[in-house]
């Protein structure tokens, strides 16, 4: 399996710090590769296992355990809306309706969705509920209108296309 030169460079940067325990690279490699590939595929699992010197089954178990690793394809921008109790009580669930927010189906020219939407459990931002994470960026005190504005901002930045 081949990755982009940018992703290979990223792997190279953290590799020296984990050389003694290559298996500790499994999660960051999976996350960075997921960003590029859009999903954790069987080929990706085999590749990470080979590079980290572990069995594919061990990598597969990691994928099954961590909710931030997805076997289903994600959009370029993966929108995670917390609907756990604190966020639910102040309107978090309304951020996922309309229904399943229309931008969720926006398609890119490469066939990958521009956005994907996922309801998630508490992300540790209860004091600023409702909380949303888009890729690695957190957004607090979100309303449906604020969320749509964030999406519009990403669309108009041409990053989603």
Could you list the residues that contact ligand FES (CB under 6 A)? 82, 84-87, 122-126, 129, 131
Nearer to ligand FES by Cβ, of 45 and 125: the residue is 125
β pairing state of 115-120 and 77-82: parallel
Nearer to ligand FES by Cβ, of 73 and 91: the residue is 91
Nearer to ligand FES by Cβ, of 37 and 95: the residue is 95
Nearer to ligand FES by Cβ, of 93 and 161: the residue is 93
Judge contact between 30 and 8, C-beta under 8 A.
no
Nearer to ligand FES by Cβ, of 18 and 123: the residue is 123
Min dist. Cβ of residue 29 to ligand FES (A): 27
Min dist. Cβ of residue 78 to ligand FES (A): 17
Min dist. Cβ of residue 34 to ligand FES (A): 22
Centre a 10 Å sphere on the Cβ of residue 2 and count the other Cβ atoms it contains: 7
Min dist. Cβ of residue 12 to ligand FES (A): 35
Min dist. Cβ of residue 159 to ligand FES (A): 25
Q: Which residue is listed with tokens 């409702």?
A: 130
- Answer left, alpha or beta for residue 26, where phi above 0 means left and psi between -120 and 50 means alpha: alpha
With b for 16 or more beta-carbon neighbours within 10 A and e for fewer, the 16-51 pattern comes to eeeeeeeeebbbebbebbbeebbebeeebbebbbeb
């Amino acid at each position: 399996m081949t990755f982009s030169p940018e992703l290979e460079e990223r792997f190279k940067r953290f590799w020296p710090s984990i050389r003694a325990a290559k298996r500790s690279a499994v999660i960051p490699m999976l996350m960075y590769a997921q960003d590029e590939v859009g999903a954790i595929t069987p080929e990706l699992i085999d590749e990470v296992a080979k590079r980290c010197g572990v069995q594919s089954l061990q990598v597969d178990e990691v994928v099954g355990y961590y909710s931030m690793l997805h076997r289903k394809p994600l959009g370029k921008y993966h929108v995670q809306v917390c609907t756990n109790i604190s966020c639910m009580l102040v309107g978090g669930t309304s951020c996922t309706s309309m229904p399943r927010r229309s931008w969720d189906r926006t398609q890119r020219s490469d066939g990958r969705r521009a956005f994907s939407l996922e309801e998630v459990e508490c992300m540790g931002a209860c004091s600023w509920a409702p909380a949303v994470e888009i890729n690695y960026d957190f957004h607090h005190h979100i309303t449906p209108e604020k969320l749509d504005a964030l999406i519009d901002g990403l669309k108009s930045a041409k990053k989603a296309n």
